[in-house]
Structure 1
Amino acid sequence: MNISSISNTISPLSLSLNENNQTKTNNSGAGSFEGMLKDAVSDVNKQQVEGYNAMEGIATGKVTNLQQAVQQIEEAELTMKLALEVKNKAINAYKEIGRMQI
């Protein structure tokens, strides 16, 4: 089972064409919402891949430190739960704004 990186699906969103029709990444600023969102998704993805690698190491017996591997798996689980809760809160806030009367 192979987990592919979700950063491959995000990176095309930040590409633009310069005058030579070559793609380059936009540096939209470290404080922008887009940058913060990309960093957060990248961190969640990194944790998930590390957790998967730890599970694979446990299953194959290649892990030398079982406690560290279990810790990585737990961190990946908690990171995903946090990301899902933040997403749910953001969706609820968006729906609440949509219900506001002008």
Structure 2
Amino acid sequence: MIDKISPSLMSPVGKMESLSKVQTNNVSFSELLKQSLNEVNKAQGASDSMTEALASGRKVELHDVMIAAEKASVMMLTTIEIRNKAVEAYQEISRMQM
């Protein structure tokens, strides 16, 4: 069972750091998952607030709003795909003969 993973090897959008930057400290898998979901939530919140600011007429550049929305969308889709792969792996393992 995976219990620890280096945070530099995985992130919500796949911002993989180069091998020369790999850190030696380990973080529990559940903590890494919590951090990743918090990052996705922050991106969604930033996108929502920028969209609201644009709609209410505050000075916000349209391209900045679109970039924030696309970033949040990509992060959410990546999170969903990671979840789907984890469920598939769990189902495959549960089908194995002991």
TM (norm. structure 2) is 0.70
- Match of 1:101, SS state, is coil
Letter of the 1:73 counterpart: A
Structure 2, unaligned stretches of length 5 or more? Answer: 1-24
Structure 1, unaligned stretches of length 5 or more? Answer: 1-28
* Identical-pair percentage: 35
By how many angstroms is 1:64 displaced?
Answer: 2.6
1:20-66 Cα deviation digits (max 9, x unpaired): xxxxxxxxx85110110010110010011011111111211214322
* 1:44–1:80 contact (8 Å) kept in structure 2: yes
Pick from 58, 64, 88 the counterpart of residue 62 of structure 1: 58
* 1:44–1:79 contact (8 Å) kept in structure 2: yes
* 1:58–1:66 contact (8 Å) kept in structure 2: yes
Larger Rg: 1
- Counterpart check, 1:81 vs 2:64: no
- Counterpart check, 1:44 vs 2:44: no
1:87-102 aligned within 5 A: 87-102=83-98
* 1:30–1:36 contact (8 Å) kept in structure 2: no
Higher relative contact order, chain-length normalized (CA < 8 Å, sep 6+): 2
Q: How many residues end up aligned between the 2 structures?
A: 74
Structure 1 residue ranges (4+ consecutive) displaced by more than 3 angstroms after TM superposition:
none
Letter of the 1:31 counterpart: V
Q: Distance in 2 between matches of 1:45 and 1:38?
A: 10
TM (norm. structure 1) is 0.67
